[in-house]
Structures are given as structure tokens and as C-alpha cells.
Amino acid sequence: MMSMTRTACDLGAPFDLAFLHAARSPADMIYRQELSLLAQRNHGLKLALISGTAPAAEAWAGFTGRLSLPMLQLIAPDFTERRIFCCGPAPFMEGVRAMLGEAGYDMAEYYEESFDFGAETAGNFEGEPEAAPEVSGQTFRVSFAKSGKVVECSPGMTVLSAAREAGLRPLSSCQRGICGTCKTRLVSGEVEMNHGGGIRKREIDQGKILACCSHPLSDIELEL
């Protein structure tokens, strides 16, 4: 989504793009600053930010709640005449498909990011994460700072699986270290992370990890 948006802005040719960005909270909105700046500078870009909850920390001028048909109609009243590109966790995209179907949208004009790596493509794309590290039967304790939960992470289990085992429902999508949806902060401990480009060095230096492709190398604590 960002590549296409940046390209549209860079080319300088007239364009008409409505960018809807839905996240749990404004703090979870990746590219928020860049998108706002692009929208200020490009008349063809209309930006709608949708926060799941009303943020307490700032005066919120965007939409609040879950993306719904009335919200979409308000943001882009002509959406049935537009081509739609959708990217997000699978349940989100399912919801969007259902909503558009109900609205009678021509689904031939609908495209979505796919993280379904079938047998045909397996092992064939650039940046494929390496296999899980050998951890020789070691089990580590994974604690979750916000929820206070603790689970044992058995050998070969990812941090994401451990979080699910703890009853948490962290966001995830590709589960291959590519999309960055499962990014979280490692509060303490060490992990081995074999990602496929879904995290930047700067973020790793800040203590962030991708839960779907990280394996504990010690007892760890996560922000979740």
C-alpha cells in the first residue's frame, strides 16, 4: 500500500486515492506521519485514519471504531466506482470482503495482499526465513508484561505460538517474518529471529522483534 501510494505521489501525475488506515490505536498506525505529510502535499490523496479506541493521550480528529459500511460511505462515497486494494490481518480482510459483498461492490475490482505461500511458491521467494534454530530440547519461560501471563515455550515453538498458548491474541498475518504485523518489544531475554524483511535494523536496535519468527534462547519477557 505504501509503495503504491509513494509512487503515485512521486510521479507527479494527477491521481485520486483514498487511503483508509485502521488500527487499534493511533500509536499502532504505521506510517502515520508520512501518510499525513503526503496527504497535506498531494491533493489527490485523501487520508482517513480509523482508531479502534478513542485515544486518551491526544485530541483525536480521525474516525473511531471498526471500519463499517457507513464509515466507508462517508470516507469514499464513490467507493463502488473505485478499485480497492486491501492489506491487513486475514480476519480484517475477510471482514472487508464481506462488507463489500453486502454493498454490491464488483469484486473483480478488489485486490488484496496475499500471505498464502502455497507449495508452488514455497522456497521460491526472496527473503524466505531460515528454518527454526535447533534448541536441543530446551524449554524457556515466556512472560508477558502487560497481561501478566507466563507460559513455558517448548523447543521449536515460536514466541507467537507461546503468546497464543497463554491465551493472548496478538495480531499476525504472514507468519513468515515478512509483513511486520506481529511486531512487539522484547523487554528482557534473548531470542533468535529469522525474519524475511518485516522488521528494520533500527527497530531491532530498539528491542523490537517479530513474534512469528522468533524463538527464545533464554527466559524472556515481552511487552504484550
Per CB under 6 A, does 179 bind ligand FES?
Answer: yes
Among residues 180, 186, 193, 220, the one that binds ligand FES under rule CB under 6 A: 180
The count of chain residues that interact with ligand FES, using the rule CB under 6 A, is 13
Beta bridge partners of 19: 47
Please give the helix or strand (H or E) that residue 74 lies within, else none. Answer: helix 69-75
Per CB under 6 A, does 177 bind ligand FES?
Answer: yes
Q: Which amino acid is at 39?
A: A
| Terminal-to-terminal C-alpha distance of the chain | 27
Phi, psi of 45 (to 5 degrees): -110, 115
Per CB under 6 A, does 224 bind ligand FES?
Answer: no
Per CB under 6 A, does 198 bind ligand FES?
Answer: yes
Per CB under 6 A, does 193 bind ligand FES?
Answer: no
Instruction: Give the range of 24-32, 136-144, 145-153, 169-177 binding ligand FES by CB under 6 A.
Output: 169-177
Per CB under 6 A, does 93 bind ligand FES?
Answer: no
Among residues 161, 175, 184, 214, the one that binds ligand FES under rule CB under 6 A: 175
Per CB under 6 A, does 186 bind ligand FES?
Answer: no
- Please state the three-class secondary structure of 150-216 as a single string: EEEECCCCCHHHHHHHCCCCCCCCCCCCCCCCCEEEEEECCEEECCCCCCCHHHHHCCEEEHHHEEE
Binding site for ligand FES (CB under 6 A): 172-175, 177-182, 198, 210, 212
